[in-house]
Chain A
Amino acid sequence: MMILRAPVVSLRSVGPDMYVLSLHAPQIAANVLPAQFLNIKATDGSEPLLRRPFSVYRTQGENVEILFNIVGAGTRILSRLRPGDLVDILGPLGCPFSLESDFRTAVLVGGGLGVAPFPHATNALSRSSRQIRTFLGARSSPHILRDHLQNVSVATDDGSEGYHGTVVALVRNALESGSIDRPKIFGCGPEPMLRALARAAIDLGIPCEVSLESVMACGIGICQGCPVERTGGEKKYSLICNEGTVFDARTIKFS
Chain B
Amino acid sequence: MQVHIGSLTLRNPVLAASGTFGYGDECKELVDVNGLGGIVTKSLSLKPRDGNPPARIVETASGMLNSIGLANVGVDRFIAEKLPYLRTLSTAVIANIAASTVDEYCAVLSLLEAQEGIGAYEINVSCPNVKEGGLSFGTNVAMTAQITRRLRPLTKKPLILKLTPNVTNVGEFARAVEGEGADAVSLINTVVGMAVDARKKSPKLSTVTGGLSGPAIKPIALAKVYEASKAVKIPLIGIGGIMTAEDAVEFLLVGASAVQVGTANFIDPATGLTVATGMARWCEQQGVARVADLTGALEVSTEFSVLRTWL
Contacts and interface: CB of A to CB of B under 8 A. Distances in A.
A224 B265 contact: no
Interface string A26-70: 000000000000000100001111110000000000000000000
B50 interface: yes
Interface string B22-43: 1000110110000000000010
B306 interface: no
Q: Which of B29, B266, B268, B269 has the most CB of A within 10 A?
A: B266
Interface string A196-238: 0000000000000000001111101111111111000001110
Interface in A85-116: 90
Given A46-B62, A223-B66, A1 B29 contact: yes
A49 B56 contact: no
Contact of A225 (B26, B56, B214, B270): B56
B64 A50 contact: yes
B68 A225 contact: yes
Contact of A223 (B30, B57, B216): B57
A225 B66 contact: yes
A228 B30 CA distance: 25
Contacts of A215: 55, 57-59
Interface in B206-248: 214-216, 243
Contacts of A235: 50
Contacts of A220: 26-27, 30, 269
B66 to A, nearest CB: 6
A225 B57 contact: yes
B299 to A, nearest CB: 27
A123 B19 CA distance: 39
The 8 A-B residue pairs whose C-beta atoms are closest, nearest first, are A225-B57, A217-B266, A236-B50, A218-B266, A222-B22, A46-B62, A46-B215, A224-B68
17 contacts: A1-B29, A3-B30, A48-B59, A49-B59, A49-B62, A216-B57, A217-B57, A217-B64, A218-B269, A220-B27, A221-B26, A223-B19, A225-B66, A227-B54, A227-B71, A237-B50, A237-B51
Interface of B: 19-22, 26-27, 29-30, 42, 50-51, 53-59, 61-64, 66, 68, 71, 214-216, 243, 263, 265-270
Given A2-B29, A49-B263, A236-B50, 18 more contacts: A1-B29, A2-B30, A3-B268, A46-B216, A49-B63, A90-B30, A90-B268, A216-B57, A217-B66, A217-B263, A218-B267, A220-B30, A223-B20, A224-B71, A225-B68, A226-B56, A228-B54, A237-B50
